[in-house]
Homo-oligomer: A and B are copies of this chain.
Amino acid sequence: MPNYVVGHKVPDSDSICSAIALSYLKTELGEPTVPARLGELSPETMFILDRFGFEKPELKLSYAGESLYIVDHSDRVQGPDDIDDATILGIIDHHKLGDITTSTPLECWIRPVGCTNTIIKMMYDFEGIEIPKDIAGAMMMAILSDTVLFKSPTCTTADKKCVEALAEIAGIEDYQELGMDMFKVKSAVEGTPARDLVLRDFKDFNMKGQLVGIGQLEVIDLAMLDEMKDGLHADLQSLKEEGNRHSVILLLTDIMKEGSELLVVSDDTSVIEKAFDVTLTENRVWIDGILSRKKQVVPPLQDSFK
């Protein structure tokens, strides 16, 4: 029976590419391991898999009785629902430390860098295993996605160096151009139902006992969302009620203007206004410089909920 590697619910490119990269590494180290996923893939992730010739990882929601590695999260609400009945062999992540616990010792590689794949590259180097060309390409794309082409405040020197090393292994000359192609795919929102867009990159957080859902849509020009905003905002309300959430926030991020508009529905909008020191107008506000949910949205919200 193989081990699994799985990322968070509503998988993004980092969750999928790190599952592929880590399962190859572990298998090479003599521990048969396969990548899995907890949900459907975004157009961005499909672009990466197609470009480097990978199949979609197995859709697998239940892990009772299995052994697995967790990548790109350490929060219970983001992982498999039956994780208590599984054995967690390790966690590779670049977020705050969440509330997953284990009853046996494990392997954790958690670093304050821009992308899980940057850490997995360190693991390959540590173990002295060569990264295959196609895997290097997928890892590189995940880092470009997570760091928004190095523009995100989460981006570190380690991420940049890692992209350069991976680009060389993958034989890619202009990684910025390929990254921009990826963000164009990501920006193609026309004709997509509001719910699909909201859930494309959506994570729940437990903030002092309150469930807070935060989605993010990154586009190369916010103007392309103008006609969809009302529909998106209405859908947040439904999502809040369906999940008994305290708040749902959608970040509409303009990666060229380097800022985000927040669409908010909340039982108490003052908690959100306090977190960012802003005043919402019709439950919306543009904030310059906000590109990172992890570094610029979750920590102030968490403090505000205290």
A residues with a Cβ closer than 8 A to B are 88, 91, 94-113, 122, 126, 154, 294-295, 298-299, 302-303
Kindly report which residue of chain B lies nearest to residue A301, judged by CB atoms: B103
Asked whether B107 lies within 8 Å of A96 as measured between CB atoms, the reply is no
CB distance from A94 to the nearest CB of B (A): 6
CB distance from A6 to the nearest CB of B (A): 17
Asked whether A105 lies within 8 Å of B295 as measured between CB atoms, the reply is yes
Chain B residues with CB under 8 Å of A295's CB are 104-105
Asked whether A109 lies within 8 Å of B112 as measured between CB atoms, the reply is no
Chain B residues with CB under 8 Å of A107's CB are 110-112
Asked whether A302 lies within 8 Å of B96 as measured between CB atoms, the reply is no
Asked whether A299 lies within 8 Å of B103 as measured between CB atoms, the reply is yes
In the complex, which of the residues A91, A106, A298 has the most CB atoms of chain B within 10 Å of its own CB atom? A106
Chain B residues with CB under 8 Å of A303's CB are 103
Asked whether B106 lies within 8 Å of A109 as measured between CB atoms, the reply is no
Chain B residues with CB under 8 Å of A154's CB are 105
Query: Once the chains are docked, how many angstroms separate the CA of A110 from the CA of B110?
Result: 9
CB distance from A120 to the nearest CB of B (A): 15
Chain B residues with CB under 8 Å of A104's CB are 96, 112, 295, 299
Known: A88-B97, A97-B91, A126-B126. A103 touches B302 (CB 8 A): yes
20 contacts across the A-B interface (CB closer than 8 A): A88-B97, A91-B97, A94-B105, A95-B105, A96-B105, A96-B106, A97-B100, A97-B101, A97-B102, A97-B108, A98-B101, A99-B99, A105-B110, A105-B111, A105-B113, A105-B154, A105-B294, A108-B110, A110-B110, A126-B126
Query: Once the chains are docked, how many angstroms separate the CA of A33 from the CA of B112?
Result: 18
Kindly report which residue of chain B lies nearest to residue A103, judged by CB atoms: B302
Chain B residues with CB under 8 Å of A88's CB are 97
Query: Once the chains are docked, how many angstroms separate the CA of A91 from the CA of B101?
Result: 14
Chain B residues with CB under 8 Å of A95's CB are 105
Other A-B pairs beyond A99-B99, A108-B108, 17, CB < 8 Å: A94-B105, A96-B102, A96-B103, A96-B105, A97-B100, A97-B102, A98-B101, A103-B299, A104-B112, A104-B295, A104-B299, A105-B110, A105-B154, A105-B294, A107-B110, A108-B110, A108-B111
Query: Once the chains are docked, how many angstroms separate the CA of A252 from the CA of B202?
Result: 51
Which 4 residue pairs are nearest across A and B when measured between Cβ atoms? Answer: A108-B110, A105-B112, A97-B102, A103-B302
Query: Once the chains are docked, how many angstroms separate the CA of A63 from the CA of B22?
Result: 36
